[in-house]
């Protein structure tokens, strides 16, 4: 049996954290590892407790949840963030900060359960690897190190921090397996959203993406160009 999901509850109002604590306690596979009412202490508490998930209130005095989420992203082992708030207007900004979900108070148990399940799926993806076999040699590439995937003949070329590798997984299957991690730029290429750096037009007038971690600049199809531009605007 896998270890329970460790959840840190953050809200400046103790009654709110107590209610969330009861909801989490009623769920299988999750446990509360800590409560925090002081927003200025959340980052340090995450360093201390190393929670898997932070249920984070948005509107708090002094330091709001959006600002805290930005701090947590810089941690070496950052937790998954689920925002919990009465203010729906923060939803767009929450997802721009890569929050896995956004819960509106009063939180219902079944809605919390779905959010925690999404957090598990996110963490499972981050632990995933791609397997490349060259003769008798097997190489594993952590999915978090992959910056681009390109279809070539019967294989998919994996561009990653240490170079390139070939895998037998099809581009379509990888896109379906990791829908939140990659963006399609061409019918034969996926790029890691986090690695997308910019766009440029080559001497032939073809739009190409610039990717952190590799010199490879795949072309962008007209069909996929609007989505790529939209993602780059969000990253600015």
**Helix runs in the chain, H state only:** 14-25, 42-49, 65-73, 91-96, 109-126, 171-177, 225-235
Of 126, 160, 191, the residue that ends a domain is 126
Residue range 170-216, pLDDT digits in tens: 999 999 988 888 999 999 999 999 899 999 999 999 999 999 988 89
Q: Do 91 and 154 have their domain in common? A: no
Smallest CA-to-CA distance from 161 within 181, 143, 186 is with 143
| Confidence label for 75 from pLDDT (cuts 50, 70 and 90) | confident
Distance CA 8, CA 5 (A): 10
Bridge partners, 159 (sequence order): 148, 164
Residue 87: pLDDT over 80: no
Q: Which pair of tokens denotes residue 101? A: 């979900």
Q: Do 114 and 159 have their domain in common? A: no
Contact call for residues 150 and 191 (beta carbons, < 8 A)? no
Count of structural domains within the chain: 2
Non-local CB neighbours of 68 within 8 Å, separated by 6+ positions = 10, 39, 42, 43, 56
pLDDT at 2: 67
Q: Do 189 and 83 have their domain in common? A: no
Give the range of the structural domain holding residue 71, as residue numbers without chain letter. 5-126
Contact call for residues 185 and 224 (beta carbons, < 8 A)? yes
pLDDT at 3: 80
Contact call for residues 155 and 116 (beta carbons, < 8 A)? no
Q: Do 111 and 149 have their domain in common? A: no
Residue range 15-53, pLDDT digits in tens: 999 999 999 999 999 999 999 999 999 999 999 999 999
Taking residue 114's Cβ as centre, other Cβ atoms within 10 Å add up to: 13
Of 69, 103, 126, the residue that ends a domain is 126
pLDDT at 96: 59
Q: Do 119 and 145 have their domain in common? A: no
Q: Do 151 and 119 have their domain in common? A: no
**CATH code of residue 38:** 3.40.50.2300
Of 126, 158, 178, the residue that ends a domain is 126
Distance CA 120, CA 124 (A): 6
Backbone angles phi, psi at 182, to 5 degrees: -120, 155
What's this model's pTM, rounded to 2 decimal places? 0.66
Burial of residue 6 (CB within 10 Å: 0-12, 13-18, 19+) is: middle
Angle at the Cα of 90 from the Cα atoms of 95 and 70, rounded to 5 degrees: 55
**CATH code of residue 144:** 2.40.50.1020
């Amino acid at each position: 049996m896998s270890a329970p999901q460790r959840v840190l509850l953050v809200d400046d109002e103790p009654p709110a954290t107590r209610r969330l604590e009861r909801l989490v306690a009623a769920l299988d596979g999750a446990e509360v590892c800590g409560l925090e009412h002081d927003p200025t202490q959340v980052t340090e508490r995450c360093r201390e407790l190393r929670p898997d998930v932070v249920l984070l209130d948005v509107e708090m005095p002094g330091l709001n949840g959006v600002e805290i989420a930005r701090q947590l992203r810089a941690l070496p082992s950052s937790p998954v963030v689920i925002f919990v708030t009465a203010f729906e207007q923060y939803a767009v900004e929450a997802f721009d900060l890569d929050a896995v979900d956004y819960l509106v108070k009063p939180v219902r148990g079944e809605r919390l359960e779905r959010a925690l399940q999404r957090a598990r799926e996110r963490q499972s993806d981050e632990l995933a690897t791609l397997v490349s076999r060259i003769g008798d040699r097997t190489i594993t590439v952590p999915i978090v190190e992959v910056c681009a995937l390109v279809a070539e003949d019967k294989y998919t070329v994996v561009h990653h921090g240490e170079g390139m590798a070939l895998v037998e997984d099809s581009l379509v299957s990888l896109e379906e397996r990791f829908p939140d991690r990659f963006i399609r730029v061409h019918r034969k290429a996926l790029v890691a959203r986090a690695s997308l750096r910019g766009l440029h037009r080559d001497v032939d007038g073809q739009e190409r993406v610039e990717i952190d971690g590799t010199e490879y600049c795949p072309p962008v199809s007209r069909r996929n160009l609007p989505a790529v531009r939209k993602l780059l605007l969000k990253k600015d």
